A and B are shown apart, each in its own frame.
Chain A
Amino acid sequence: MPPIIDPNKCNGCAGRNETFCEEICPGDLMALDATTGKAFLRSARDCWDCMSCVKACPRNALETRIPYQLGYYKASLRPIVGRNTITWKCKDIYGKETTFKFANRIA
């Protein structure tokens, strides 16, 4: 089911020709639902979990979930994209939190 979309946070990137997630997904899997004005995932089975959409979303409305067939409920991994760094906050199924931060560009 990756990624899931928080309808309270997603605003469909109002005013843009395409949503950020739709623009970046390498599988052309994200699109805008014209009736709800929110992004949606066309086909969960085709998602690679590359997290490009999650990194691109300016409103943190997307969250990658591991399909339950593969991993248990519920863990989370959230990227916080900085200028030349990225910070990842990970929480495992027992609630243990870990933070990783590293440079992803030479400043």
Chain B
Amino acid sequence: MARMNTAHAVDFAPAGLESVETVEVTADLLIIGGGNAGCFVAVEAAKLQPGITTVILEKADIRRSGACSAGMDAINTYIPKGKTPEDLVRWSRAQVGGGPLREDLALSNAYELNECVDDLERWGLPILRDEEGNASYRGKWDISIHGEQLKPIMAEKALESGADVYNRVVATGLLMHDGHCAGAMGFGVRDGKFYVFRAKATVISTGGAGTLYKSYTADSTDSGAQIWMCPYCVGSGYAMGFRQGAELTSLEQRWVATRSKDFCGPIDTISVGYKSAIINAKGEHVMDRYKHLGGDAAPRYIRANAPMEEWLAGRGPCYCDTTRLSPEKAHDLLVDYLNERPSFVLFLASRGQDVTKEPIEIYGSDPYIVGGHTGSGFWVTMERMTTIPGLFAAGETAGGNPNKFVGGCAAEGKLAARGALAWMKTRSLAPLDAAQIAAEKARVYAPILRRGQDGIQPVAMKERLQRLMDEYAGGTSQYYRTNEERLDYALRHIKMLQSQFAYLTADSLHMLMEAHETMDRVDVAEAVVHHLKARKETRWAGWQTRMDYPERDDVHFDCFIESRRDPETGTITTFTRPYEQLISGDRQKA
């Protein structure tokens, strides 16, 4: 085990690029992002190939990094006795309105799924069980856990696997050689050094992209990060791959979920698991309006959009009716929250709210690009290789395969590890390209070399982007709706933001990280807008609502929307790929 030492951030004021130290690290396998998927990549690689040298590149500390950093209260998919992996794919397909989705990927994940959850239990994760020892199901597929320690447990196993963990190193770009990925580059947010990681294979598992859109709780004050997705997952993985020409799929299938209002706590599994109905201001059961689509068990995007439609129709606010819960059940509910989002319990206390007397108010979240939940991410092969040879994706970064959640991201970590190991058998380290490294180093440090000069603060550009996306690309303030003209407007302004990257300034290493996160957000947002433009229909209202094309158009759009950015010119093109149904049955039903 080797956790590289970290320390207080140094006072970093380089006179020029030549005074910035470059550190070169070589490994067989590079994992960018030590979250849920990344930890499973490391463990699986060491298991299959003892002695392999693996490096995990992590911008935080892997014990509390990524989407699981606050904890988790459920494993949303665990195949119960009597059900099959094919049944799980049918459910996943119905949850996204019949697709399109990559049923090949989904099925391979489903076959690995339960073993991964069992791994977690063997590693020490408490899974709630009934008297017969069966996992305690909240709904059809999701089981209750006490996951406060979920992330530390995964991280311990990744460290025990022998991987070298470089915490507090921010990845900024891929290292390329002859069109394939040969590693990555980045900088230390504590030591200021420039890092070049060379590897035979690279897995990108940096999580999804929260913070592209403005959260309605962002009052320019103390609540700019009150979102449901981990706000430190900003889409850097998508951005790094996309800038080098990796194909992205389904970015228009944004994840929007019903969440507690004013403090983004989980709701939809609670409403189903605790049988607490969604009601409107009049006390009416909102999902009764959607009986033909499954009512309380309707697909996620319908459940996410339904409360917002009530608001629009003048029947808001809406609530998750917890007032029928017994005191014991209410206690269990709060314990679930303490495991996943403890500060939500504090929020309720700060409202003086007893949930058995007053229902929990709900609202739609800001939109996220998260391939562990919807289909957004890199187009990958069955080996989880992106369209850049040598670059693999797992978890939120891998697209086409929605509803993975914790267990599925773990499963995909294993599959990506196997794919990467098979690839590296025939590969040796690529030679270093000094010009490429010099160019990235200059790009990385440019904002801090401009410190003290007039320019743009990273936070200002971030908030400009977030407002743009919210108002023009279908954010919460617009009830997720957009049209061609708004999207064109968004693209024009995204181009202006990109043309002003050259004015970003940073006074510290932390601000330098913010500058790169902001540039990554802008580049991912550009891809998202192109995807929203390309799908000229409304397939998943709420996740993807086109006011100018309000109907679903199966003739033209029962297919994947893809995008690719030319690495030389930056020009983005969109195109389609066909959907293939592999698992029998009515696509709308599970």
Contacts and interface: CB of A to CB of B under 8 A. Distances in A.
Interface in A36-87: 42-52, 64, 66-77, 79, 86
Given A46-B224, A100-B335, A105-B153, A75 B346 contact: yes
Among the interface residues A1, A27, A28, which one has the most CB atoms of the partner chain B within 10 A? Answer: A28
A22 B349 CA distance: 27
Contact of A45 (B124, B224, B347, B350): B224
Contacts of B221: 45, 67, 69
Contacts of A25: 60, 64
Given A46-B231, A102-B146, A104-B126, A92 B350 contact: yes
A55 to B, nearest CB: 8
B463 to A, nearest CB: 10
Given A70-B262, A75-B350, A88 B222 contact: no
Nearest to B218: A45
Interface residues of B, number: 61
Contact of A70 (B61, B70, B168, B350): B350
Contact of A48 (B121, B190, B232, B353): B232
B346 A106 contact: no
B366 to A, nearest CB: 13
Interface string B224-242: 1111001110000000000
A17 B334 contact: no
Contacts of B334: 98, 100
Given A26-B61, A93-B349, A93-B350, A100 B331 contact: yes
Contact of B8 (A18, A24, A69): A18
Range of interface residues on A (Cβ < 8 Å) = 35 or more
A27 to B, nearest CB: 5
B206 to A, nearest CB: 13
Given A28-B510, A77-B342, A71 B350 contact: yes
A93 to B, nearest CB: 4
Given A27-B60, A48-B230, A105-B153, A67 B222 contact: yes
Contacts of B513: 28
Contacts of B7: 17-18
Given A103-B126, A105-B126, A52 B69 contact: yes
Contacts of B217: 69-70
B126 A66 contact: no
A1 B262 CA distance: 16
Given A18-B7, A66-B343, A90-B345, A106 B226 contact: no
B171 to A, nearest CB: 14
Contacts of A5: none
A48 to B, nearest CB: 5
B526 to A, nearest CB: 23
Contacts of B126: 103-106
B351 interface: yes
A64 B6 contact: no
Nearest to A53: B64
A50 B70 contact: yes
A5 to B, nearest CB: 15
Contacts of B388: none
Given A17-B5, A64-B343, A102-B146, 20 more contacts: A18-B8, A26-B61, A26-B69, A44-B222, A45-B225, A51-B343, A52-B69, A66-B343, A67-B223, A69-B222, A71-B263, A71-B346, A71-B350, A71-B351, A74-B350, A75-B346, A75-B350, A100-B335, A104-B147, A106-B126
Interface of B: 5-9, 59-61, 63-66, 69-70, 121, 124-126, 146-149, 153, 168, 189-190, 217-227, 230-232, 262-263, 331, 334-335, 338-339, 342-343, 345-353, 459, 510, 513
7 smallest beta-carbon distances between A and B, as pairs: A71-B350, A45-B224, A75-B349, A67-B222, A49-B343, A50-B70, A92-B349
